[in-house]
A and B are shown apart, each in its own frame.
Chain A
Amino acid sequence: QVHLVESGGGVVQPGRSLRLSCAASGFIFSDYAMYWVRQAPGKGLEWVSVISYDSNTKYYADSVKGRFTISRDNSKNTLYLQLTGLRDEDTAVYYCGGLGCWGQGTLVTVSS
């Protein structure tokens, strides 16, 4: 059974950085692409970034390109999202996803 657990969210000032993690279990993590999606308060779902199974391919939404970096450690079954240059509009619940499953999300609040 696929299980994804995000962590690393919190309250951060504009311009600062944060690293999100997603611990995966229940499947062969190294075989699958993984992604991050976010949901601002009261809003819909926005795809953020995706990484191929071998880390060779990474793509980002235009809204985060140049500020966020996706990575993975297949030896630790963990997905990461490094958030830098945070803006108010980055406030959202961030979900990691793979194999059609999602975690419970971690809340990032950007506020001065």
Chain B
Amino acid sequence: DVVMTQSPLSLPVTLGQPASISCRSSQSLVHSDGNTYLDWFQQRPGQSPRRLIYEVSYRDSGVPDRFSGSGSGSNFTLKISRVEAEDVGVYYCMQGTHWPLFTFGPGTRVDFK
């Protein structure tokens, strides 16, 4: 099975400053169709998860452009260019390449210093 790891697991941030979360997979996430199915989800306190990024770098509709995703193979990054108050929560990466066995990362808790 594919194992997803994230770092850091806790990320203290400063309003208006950039932030970055790393996600690594135990196997390449490049699918036989050439695409890489790596998503990022945000879960605000008390809410259900919301997808921010799909296929490594494509932002979902309505997601602010301060969020960006990058990476390839088995190494991926979610970046927030300037953290805002509403960005507090837990962020998860998820692989969908090795369907049907989706796998989530352990989550990174983002909170203010």
Residue numbers of A with Cβ under 8 A of B are 33, 35, 37, 44-47, 50, 57, 59, 93, 95, 100-105
Contacts and interface: CB of A to CB of B under 8 A. Distances in A.
Interface residues of B, number: 21
B101 A47 contact: yes
Interface of B: 39, 41, 43, 48-51, 54, 60, 90, 92, 94, 99-107
Given A100-B39, A100-B54, A59 B92 contact: no
Contact of B101 (A33, A45, A59): A59
B48 A104 contact: yes
A44 B60 contact: no
A45 B107 contact: yes
Contact of B100 (A45, A50, A100, A101): A50
Nearest to A104: B48
Nearest to B99: A50
